Every structure is written in C-alpha cells, then in structure tokens.
A and B are shown apart, each in its own frame.
Chain A
Amino acid sequence: MKKAFKIFGLVIMAVIVVSVFAGCGSAPKAQLKVYNWGDYIGEGVIEEFEKRYNIDVIYETFATNEEMYVKIKGGGADYDVAIPSDYMIERMIKEDMLEKIDFSNVPNYKYIDERFKNLPYDPNNEYSVPYMWGTVGILYNKKMVDEPVDSWKILWNEKYKKQILMLDSSRDSIGVALKMLGYSLNTRNMDELEQAKEALIRQKPLVLSYVGDEVKDMMISGQAALAVVWSGDAVYTKRENPDLDFVIPKEGSNMWVDAMVILKGTKNKKAAEQFINFMCEPEIAFRNTDYIGYSTPHTEAKKMLDPEVLNDRAAYPTEEDLKNCEVFEALSDVIKEYDRVWTEVKAAR
C-alpha cells in the first residue's frame, strides 16, 4: 500500500517536471498589449489574430479618452497599441507619446477612405490609422418623448426630469452644453466655458445618471427617455429596441474619429503594425463594424454592410446632418480649465 503511494507520488512528480519543461520547450510567445474602448471590437477577432500570428494579446479597455491618457501618461502602463479619439491623438503627438507607424508594414491602409486621411489631428498621417468614426447625438425613446427632438435644448426640459442620461465624459458633456448655447465646442473663451458650466449644473437635477457603456442597456430596457450617446451605440440599441431613434441636433455636434496608434516605448513595434494591418483587413474590419455598430472608414468593409445600415442616418449621416458638426481640437493650452469645469460640475449638487 505504502509502495503504491510512493509510485503514485513519483508519477505525479514526473508529470509536473515534464510539463514545466514542456512549457519551456516552445519559443516564448511574443506579447502585444492593446488598449481599446470597452465593447469596441468584433467577437473572436483577437483570438483569430493570436492564432494567425502566434502572438499573445493582452487586451484591456477604458471608458474615456481622459482615463486612457492619464493611465499612459502616469507611466504605469506599457501598452503597444491604443485606440484614442482625434483630439487625444493630437495631444499625444504634441507630447511625444506616439511612435511613427511604418506604413510599408500596413499595406491594408489603402482601404481607408481618403476622407479620413490627413485630418487636422494627424496632418501628415504619420501616427494613426482610422478605426471607426461617428457623431454625438440624442438617442430617445419614441414612446416616452412625444415632441419632435431636434435640439439639445430638450435635455434642459423640466418635463423629462430624471429621464435624461448624460455621458460621464468631460469633453462630450461640456461640448453638448456649449453647442446648446450656440458656441463652438472648441471654445477658448472662458466666459463661454463658464456659461456651459452653469448650464450643466442647472441641468443636474434633471439628469438620471452620468453613464458610460451602461447607457446601452439602460436605453434598451427603457429606463430613461433621452440619452446623449455616440452614434454607434445608437445603431446597436436601435437594433435591440425599435422604439429608439437617434438624431444629430440642429445646433450641430461633434464628429469624431477613433484611430489606432502605436505608443512610444513599445517593445514590439512589428507586432503592433501587424495588429493594425490585421484590423484593416476587409473581412476583419467588416466584422468589427458589424458587431459594434459604429461607422467604418474602411471602403471594402462598408461595401459588405447591409444596405439598411448604410441608409441609417445614425450610422452614415448626410452632409446636411454634419453641416454644423465640429471635430474636437486638443486645446492643450486651456484643457486644464475644461478639467476644472468638469470637476466642479460633478461636485456640484
């Protein structure tokens, strides 16, 4: 009996030792750290990349550009690829946080629509590859809102007290207030910014909650009547609940581009470029845009989309819709004031 135990023990030992060495046998896998928005990639895309290139992807997510910036700037993170928005890319280029991309390693860049190249945030197209684009607008429940929705002012209407969801994101929410007041959402005028702050504080009692990704579930389940959302979330939620509709208010809004960038200090630039190229493959780009609902700047992927989606003005707005829309600028010189305003809005009762 005792002997049987001993043999059993020896076998276990042998198995452990062998398995440890077996692990060492194959070459250590390369690693790629990707930092993306939450809920912002097609299903199975990462796994397919890992399999094809034999690279381990460590995938982490953020909820706002500011959160991503602070984490990378703080030095506590060593991501290789990130997917921030336009104004944040501009700021990161200025602060020397990005690596130039070698576009000969990203041949699929040719599929990106010319309209999304050489935009002001990356004028010579050296640092970024557009991933998705969209707008900010009002998502509303037709059963709960009986008047036409065409202006930001409806978010200040007492009638919808505790039925309004705002974005928990400084630039987006301040931008909404600025546009409502008829100002530019890139204002450098402190007086206009103060007025936007007052407006947001005035609006606070009407707001049910300041939200991030949970806005989708809350609007689908009818927990609020009106919400400020990014256009792709509108496409997704409309699919789930036909009572919902999306509008870009007449005062204009923000038009944005999220693009893939490589961060300074990456240890695996080649893998990072492989990843970006992979994401621009027509099939993969289609799977991403189809799953998350955001509008793709990828010409081939767009061709594969359902005509119904292409005709959806939430996803692919007309020139008329975009007439008053602006792209965020980095505003490096006054961004501290925006941060202060946002802190005070959140702290106010």
Chain B
Amino acid sequence: MRRTYYAYPYLVWMAIFIVVPLFLLLFYTFTVTTEEGIRFTLQHINRIWEPIYLTVLLRSILLALICTVICLLIGYPVALILSGKEYSQNKILALLFVIPMWINFLVRTYAWMNLLGKNGVIDMVMNFLHLPSLQLLYTDYAVVLGMVYNFLPFMVLPIYSVLTKMDKSIIEAAQDLGADYITVLKRIIVPLSMPGVISGITMVFMPAVTTFIISRLLGGGQYILIGNLIEQQFIVVGDWHFGSAISFVLTIIILITMGIMRKYDKDYEGGAIW
C-alpha cells in the first residue's frame, strides 16, 4: 500500500511558504496603489531596464559567472582527488571540507574582513616583508573571493558524490583496453560525472547571483549587487513593488538558466555516454 497521504503535510507546507509568497510577489510586481485603488501596471518592470539598474543586474550575473567558473576549476580537481584511491578509504579530507560549513557562513565572512582589511593579517605580512600594502577589502576581488570561498563546497560535494558512486569496473575496462589516464578522464570520468557538475553549477550560480551579505561585507556597500538592491527596496526604502519586480526578473533569469542546464543535462545522459 502506498501511503501518499504522508506527503500532504509537506504539500500544505509548500503551498503556504512557497506558492503563496510567489503569488504575493507577482501581485506586488504588477500593481500600484493610487488614490482610486489598486491597479495593474508595468511601471516597476520598466524601471528595471533603466541603465543604472541594468548595470547592477549584469554586474551581478557577471560576478556570479566568474565565481561559478572558478569554483568549477578548483572544485573538480579537488573532488577528483577526494574520490581517488588514496583518500576514499579514510574520509578525513572530505570531512575537512565539510567541517567549515558547521560554522555559520556570516561568521566566516566576517573573518575574511579581518584578513583582508587594512592593518589586517595579509596587510601585516606584506608590511613585514616590506611590500606595498594592497587594497583588498571592498573590491570586486574580495567579493568574488568571498563567494568562491563560501560556495566551493556546493561545487565539490555533488561532483564528489557522483565520482564515488561511479562504477569502477568501467574505468578498469577502459584501462584494460589500453587507455591512458588522460583518455580515461576525458572519455569516462568527466562524461559520467556531468550530472554532478551540472548540479554543482546550479548550486553555486544561484546563491552567487542573489547574494547580498557577501557583497555588503566584503564590497563595502559600494559594489552593490542585485541582491543588495532588492534588500534595500524592502528594508530601507520600503518600495515593495519595485523590490518585487526585481525579484521577479531575477527569478525568471534563474528559471531560464535552470532550463538550459536541464536540457544540457538530458542530452548528456541520453547520448554521449553510450
């Protein structure tokens, strides 16, 4: 007997905390309150296309893309090493990767402020070596660094989990047939780990494009990203309509990204492997 009714509490939960807020978002995006009452409008959506806000949006996407690419470049080899023979027996290295996540990411980001800041640890080392001090904090570099640092585990772990579950006999078969490591990597491991890569990319890109706390702490409120813009509309300005409109556009962009990734994912599973 399938007890589907176990899922009902979850459905109710989803309806209240996901579906209803989404409709609220839509409502605020497309309405304006005037003296005559509430009426439909596109003015908030149109306001986003003003160059000043468009730049913020593009900058956020660009920084998130850079962050995702760096995470992939660092994360894939790390996952490969973690899942390799030497380390797969003892899980210590994988554990070391997870342990920092037990500490709240806000605290870890504050720690970066102390490292990067003027008279901070890095600055002190530079001074000690009589090298010019660098302005690290409150730059784009600091923001990307903070994002890569915080989101790297989200790239490593899905890839790692796909790699460890991979059928080792396929690799052995390839090696028996005379393939060297590079060929095995190119023809077997990478294609088979694609689902992990795809989910890693989505799990890094999405929080990166919407982050507001990293850009605020490490960007100093100067390098405002789309997340900060939304936060500002709700917290400081109190313009819920415009804030919702930006969130709406961002949601659409994320949905499109996910759609593309999904399609790419399917193509791989369907064709390339066999």
Contacts and interface: CB of A to CB of B under 8 A. Distances in A.
A binds B: yes
B14 to A, nearest CB: 22
A347 interface: yes
A342 B239 CA distance: 13
Given A210-B221, A222-B119, A223-B118, A346 B228 contact: yes
A222 B221 contact: no
B215 to A, nearest CB: 11
17 contacts: A66-B237, A69-B238, A70-B234, A70-B238, A209-B222, A210-B221, A211-B221, A223-B118, A339-B236, A343-B233, A343-B237, A346-B224, A346-B229, A346-B232, A347-B224, A347-B229, A349-B55
Contacts of A221: 118-119
A179 interface: no
B154 interface: no
Contacts of A64: 236
Given A221-B119, A347-B52, A349-B59, A210 B220 contact: yes
Interface in A73-112: 73-74
Contacts, number: 66
Contacts of A198: none
B53 interface: yes
B42 interface: no
Contacts of A349: 55, 59, 223
A284 B173 CA distance: 80
Interface range on chain B (Cβ under 8 Å from partner):
20 to 34
B88 interface: no
A208 B135 CA distance: 10
B221 to A, nearest CB: 4
A223 B221 CA distance: 16
Contact of A73 (B56, B119, B238): B238
B235 interface: yes
Contacts of B232: 343, 346
A285 interface: no
B138 interface: yes
Contacts of B53: 347
A346 B219 CA distance: 12
Interface string B235-255: 111110000000000000000
B56 A222 contact: no
Contacts of B207: none
Nearest to B113: A214
Contacts of A210: 220-222
Contacts of B235: 67, 70-71
B237 A223 contact: no
Given A211-B221, A339-B238, 4 more contacts: A67-B236, A221-B118, A222-B119, A346-B232
Nearest to A169: B236
Contacts of B229: 343, 346-347
Contacts of A73: 238
Given A221-B119, A347-B55, A339 B239 contact: yes
Contacts of A170: 236
Interface of A: 64, 66-67, 69-71, 73-74, 162, 168, 170, 204, 207-211, 221-224, 339, 342-344, 346-349
A345 to B, nearest CB: 10
B247 to A, nearest CB: 15
B236 A204 contact: no
Contacts of B220: 208-211
B222 A207 contact: yes
The 8 residue pairs across chains A and B that have the minimum distance between CB atoms: A209-B220, A210-B221, A70-B238, A223-B118, A339-B237, A66-B236, A347-B56, A346-B224
A346 B226 CA distance: 11
A73 to B, nearest CB: 6
A74 B238 contact: yes
Nearest to B239: A339
Interface string B48-82: 00001101100100000000000000000000000
Interface string B110-130: 000000011100000000000
Given A221-B119, A346-B224, A162 B238 contact: no
**Residue with the highest number of chain B CB atoms closer than 10 Å, among A168, A170, A209:** A209
**Residue with the highest number of chain A CB atoms closer than 10 Å, among B55, B118, B135, B234:** B118
Contacts of A344: 52
Nearest to A69: B238
Contacts of A204: 222
A278 to B, nearest CB: 30
B126 to A, nearest CB: 15
**Residue with the highest number of chain A CB atoms closer than 10 Å, among B222, B228, B234:** B222
Nearest to A162: B135
